[in-house]
């Protein structure tokens, strides 16, 4: 499972899931992608389960890119512990996902294989998702019309 090798601080505040994804919302590496439509914390176990589902379905064909990394520690108190006495110790890692974030990308496989593989992975995610192809993800404005 994914987790950071080392971090500057052991514990983090929980934070809020506001707004839409500003980065990581375009297809960069592959031709097909799975995009989140809701905000959530996705654990390293869920990321790994989705990755395994995609690789098992796609067999040896194609390549998979995992576009998110669990870099937020979630702390938990031991069971039957009294209130107070500080924050619990880190138990697992999550990735903060906002709507529009690309979770996985695939390339080198036909569209029907990618669609079926990402559907299996989508069942393992705690959010509603959408299947994308590179043509769907193109910027609606031409390169010369973009505002700078």
Non-local (6+) Cβ contacts of 12 within 8 A are: 72, 73
Give a yes or no: residue 29 inside a domain.
no
Give a yes or no: residue 142 inside a domain.
no
Give a yes or no: residue 68 inside a domain.
yes
Domain count of the fold of the chain: 1
> Is the pTM of the predicted complex or chain greater than 0.95?
no
Query: What's the distance, Cα to Cα, between the start and end of the chain in Å?
Result: 40
Give a yes or no: residue 24 inside a domain.
no
Domain enclosing residue 95, as ranges: 42-79+87-135
pLDDT tens digits, residue range 81-121? 999 999 999 999 999 999 999 999 999 999 999 999 999 99
Which CATH number does the domain housing residue 46 bear?
3.90.1170.10
**In this predicted structure, what is the pLDDT of residue 101?**
95
Query: Once rounded to an integer, what is the mean pLDDT over residues 3-18?
Result: 92
| Gap between the Cα atoms of 104 and 101, Å rounded | 9
Give a yes or no: residue 50 inside a domain.
yes
Query: Once rounded to an integer, what is the mean pLDDT over residues 6-20?
Result: 92
Give a yes or no: residue 141 inside a domain.
no
Give a yes or no: residue 32 inside a domain.
no
Nearest-CA neighbor of 1 among 47, 42, 66?
47
**In this predicted structure, what is the pLDDT of residue 142?**
47
- pLDDT of 7 above 70: yes
Give a yes or no: residue 28 inside a domain.
no
């Amino acid at each position: 499972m994914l987790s950071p090798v080392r971090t500057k601080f052991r514990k983090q505040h929980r934070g809020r899931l506001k707004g839409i994804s500003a980065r990581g919302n375009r297809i960069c590496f592959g031709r097909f992608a799975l995009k989140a439509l809701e905000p959530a914390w996705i654990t390293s176990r869920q990321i790994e389960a989705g990755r395994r589902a995609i690789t098992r379905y796609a067999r040896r064909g194609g390549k998979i890119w995992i576009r998110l990394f669990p870099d937020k520690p979630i702390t938990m108190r031991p069971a039957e512990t009294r209130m107070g006495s500080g924050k619990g110790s880190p138990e697992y890692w999550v990735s903060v996902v906002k709507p529009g974030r690309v979770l996985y990308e695939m390339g080198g496989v036909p569209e029907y294989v990618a669609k079926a593989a990402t559907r299996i992975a989508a069942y393992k995610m705690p959010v509603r998702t959408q299947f994308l192809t590179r043509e769907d993800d193109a910027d609606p404005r031409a390169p010369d019309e973009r505002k700078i």
